[in-house]
Chain A
Amino acid sequence: MRNRPLWTVALLMTGSLLAGCGLSAGGAPPLHVKPGSIQPVPELAGVELTVGSKDFSEQLVLAYLAEFALSAAGAKVRDLSNIAGSNSGRDALVTGQVDLMWEYTGTGWISYLGKEDPIPDDAAQFEAVRKEDLARNGIVWSLMAPLNNTYAFAMSRKNAERLGIRTMSELAKLVKEQPQEGTFCLESEFASRNDGMPGVQKTYGFEPAPGNVKLLGIGPIYQAVANGGTCNFGEIFTTDGRVLALDLVVLADDRNFFPRYNASVTLRKETAAAHPQITEVLRPVAAKLTNEVVLKLNAEVDVDGKDPAEVARDWLVREGFVRLP
């Protein structure tokens, strides 16, 4: 019993730790902002909103953009970004752990709605996902951004100059004329999607020689393409900061094959109905998110090693949406 004071202290400390962080997920956004061109909205004052995201740089930046914009409008925002994997993030939204999340039209169509073939037009794809996901799962899609984070093939600057290739059609021609140069690094997922390699081969009419297709993780693919030894061509995402950092040349999809992956805000039906102001607050932000803008923001995170929250806040400040406190 001599140790009683120590015990008490230990118990109190454990208790306060649990109360502080253990029992509910998510915390306050890591930085503070003041209203700029986004002004406080009376209907959102004090409303608790949880913003979720998947676990890659672009999703983190997008989530923080929404968080800062909504806090400037007066909402009480909880940050639940960085959820591992698309499916887990989506489940968090559907079950109500998350109120709002940026999602890509192609992902919604193919992964969540189980479709096999994409629709080759931004607006039509968005409209199709919006209609079906609302009817089937009660998820509202709104505010499609210009940002289209789709697939593309890339090559190193050196290989691009050596082979003189800029478009997918030229790639197809190369594979037919010099099969040994047609080496590809793909993710296993991409290799089996209709809107991935099987569709590319069908649309552009070529077939890599056996053994020339290598399956890698997405991270290693960027490096392997940059090295240029393992493969001349690699599957990449158009808005990934590593495209800039590794000086990759992205081939033009001249037959418009790859699906649309426009980022859009997704919410549950109830949330959207209860707080229609959310989309109004985010509308001007979403409208400015083009591939060029987001590619640079992603590179600030992936290449310069900046914090995604800081990158998001600084851009909002530069654009005048919010002010620093």
Chain B
Amino acid sequence: MSSPVRQAGRLQLFAEPIAVLLIVTAVLVWAFTGELDSIEQRNITFANILTLTWEHLQLTAAISVIVLLAGVPLGVLVSRRWARHIAPLVLGLATIGQAAPAVGVLVLFFLLTGQTGFWIAVLPMALYALLPVLRNTLVGLQQVDRTLVEAGRGIGMSAFTVLRRIEFPLAIPHVLAGMRTALVLAVGVATLAMFVNGGGLGSMIDTGYKLRRTSILVVGAVLAAALALLVDWLGGLAERRLGPKGLR
């Protein structure tokens, strides 16, 4: 009975990466077969595109790891009963980070440290992408039915065991949804890393726009968008695999 449903699911599963692959191929073919002047030739090379895409992936990965390692534990901490009073404060701080324009946070961080490079781009952007994970973790844990927690405590589980075996598994769908949002956000803001020598596809977008070389702009923008779609797709996969079995 479930096989047609599962087949549709599988099709949907692979439709997105295939579409992304087709679009990227089409754009690259268009860019490479066009008549390129010397400015375009300097930018549209396989080596340059690969380097920038790789840099962009590294930025995204670093941001994601920091957000995961900082956002989830922080979300768990502020969801505890004893932290009830500081939760709004933490959320407030995280919201300030996000309400500020990403490029402002980035440049401010550069001005404070006087340094440039990969980490000077990654740290402020991680701060920027932290909010969805933090908030979703908090909300995910808060929406767990109190009676389940009390039942767990009633059968003699420690507070930590309740968190590990009841609360967190039930909050996972929320946490993952937040992670997915943060990751897509990370791919987007990583285009700004080029303001502080952080690399990434942003430099193609910037150069293409400023010099009115549409081919450079389009290649940079489409690759960044394709990365965002792929990351979103991976997030979707993770949501399916890691969510609680009963809710799949």
Contact = CB atoms under 8 A, between A and B. Distances in A.
B192 to A, nearest CB: 9
A217 B38 contact: no
A325 B58 CA distance: 60
Contacts of A194: 38-39
A85 B217 CA distance: 14
A82 interface: no
Contacts of B195: 216-217, 219-220
B47 to A, nearest CB: 14
Interface residues of B, number: 27
A207 B132 CA distance: 45
A111 B39 CA distance: 11
B110 A188 contact: no
Interface string B180-205: 00000000000000111101001110
A72 B37 CA distance: 46
B131 interface: no
A198 interface: yes
A223 B116 CA distance: 11
Interface residues of A, number: 28
Given A116-B39, A220-B195, A111 B116 contact: no
Interface in B32-67: 37-39, 42-43
Contacts of A85: 209
Given A116-B39, A229-B114, A230-B116, A214 B211 contact: no
B39 A112 contact: no
A116 B37 contact: yes
Interface of B: 37-39, 42-43, 103, 107, 110-111, 114-117, 194-197, 199, 202-204, 206-207, 209-212
Sorted nearest first, the 10 A-B pairs with minimum C-beta distance are A217-B195, A188-B203, A214-B197, A189-B210, A192-B42, A189-B207, A111-B212, A230-B116, A188-B207, A227-B114
Interface of A: 85-87, 110-112, 114, 116, 185, 187-189, 191-194, 198, 214-217, 219-220, 223-224, 227, 229-230
